[in-house]
Amino acid sequence: MANKSKIILGIDPGTLVMGYGLILIEGKKARLLEMDVLKLSKFKDHYERLQLIHTRVQELIQEHKPSSFAIEAPFFGKNVQSMLKLGRAQGVAIAAAIQGGLAVTEYSPKKVKQSVTGNGNADKEQVWLMLQRILSIPERPDYLDATDALAVAVCHFYQEANPLAGISKAKGWDQFLQQHPERITR
């Protein structure tokens, strides 16, 4: 049986720069389709930026017809206003994906880094170098927000490919039996 190909759209939300990356999955191989950024810093009105994010995500969905949408979940920062703006940017991108008929999966920055590099504390440069190897990308993009988004897409690919990815590990027999009462025979 031939494996169907599919496309994953990954988003690194931001209010000044939003990164996006698309990969084509054929069988067990991933290939770069597109990665870039939407530069928003020249637009002073925050609501105009949100509209541009929504529009760009819609365009990407219409153009590439992805089967999956993955987005980086916001990390917790000290600046409440920045977190609020980032959350709005993420929400608008998610709304565009839902409107486009896609299921949404969120990944923490640590999970993305762990999936791509094996180190949840990797820096942006380490993530880029690993993506360069995985996807055979010849040149470094101008913005690492694009590679961050690409990393989200690759993380999603790895999570979908791993049938055990969503299973929580039990810490001892008691917890295992609580999680799986159907396994108890009397």
Q: 23: buried, middle or exposed (CB in 10 Å: 19+, 13-18, 0-12)?
A: buried
Catalytic site residue from 12, 106, 142, 148 = 12
Task: Dump strand ranges (E) for the chain.
Answer: 5-12, 17-26, 29-39, 68-72, 104-107
Report strand pairing: 104-107 vs 5-12: unpaired
Task: Determine whether 12 is an active site residue.
Answer: yes
SS3 of residue 42 by DSSP: coil
From the candidates 36, 59, 72, 182, give the one annotated as an active-site residue: 72
Helix axes 144-161, 109-117, angle to 10 degrees: 70
Report the 10 Å Cβ neighbour count for 107.
20
- Spatial neighbors of 46 by CB under 8 A, at least 6 apart, are 15, 85, 88
Q: Which amino acid is at 47?
A: Y
Which DSSP symbol is given to 172?
Answer: S
145 is catalytic: yes
Residue 45 bears catalytic tag: no
Of 36, 63, 145, 182, which one is the catalytic site residue? 145
Q: CB of 151 within 8 A of CB of 144?
A: no
Enzyme catalytic residues: 12, 72, 145
